[in-house]
Structure 1
């Protein structure tokens, strides 16, 4: 499994948020707790996707620099 591409997927983070929301409902958490947990997952997902996208762009930029030096 390619974890890097999975972590960069918005669909994956939507799945994680959906599962967490379902678990909150299952254990009887109130709406406020469920909203906070779902928001936290969305925030973490956004940060992870941003970091991986920036790393990809930086890697491509560095590869381009290497080619120009040769």
Structure 2
């Protein structure tokens, strides 16, 4: 009987540790997911900005070629 109670206590402790670990892992996953979304947004904004600069440079080059021909 005593061995059974010790086994139950031991397993309950293991279960509690696993539950705590799972909660901690879930919290970390949520933090990383949020961080990933923030980084992804920065990348998208950077791509948009680079595309604007590229188009502006391209337009200026076309205008310069047009001005040189005249």
Range class of TM-score, shorter chain: 0.5 to 0.7
**Greater share of residues in helix:** 2
Which structure has the higher relative contact order (CA within 8 Å, separation 6+)? Answer: 1
Pairwise mapping of residues 1-70 of structure 1 onto structure 2 (< 5 A)? Answer: 30-70=30-70
Q: How many residues align?
A: 42
Aligned mates of 1:54, 1:65 — CA distance in 2? 16
Moved over 6 A (4+): none
In structure 2, list runs of 5 or more residues that go unmatched.
Answer: 1-28
In structure 1, list runs of 5 or more residues that go unmatched.
Answer: 1-28
Q: Choose 1 or 2 for highest CA Rg.
A: 2
Q: What is the RMSD of the two structures over their aligned residues, measured on CA atoms?
A: 1.3
> What TM-score, normalized by structure 2, do the two folds share?
0.56
Aligned mates of 2:61, 2:46 — CA distance in 1? 22
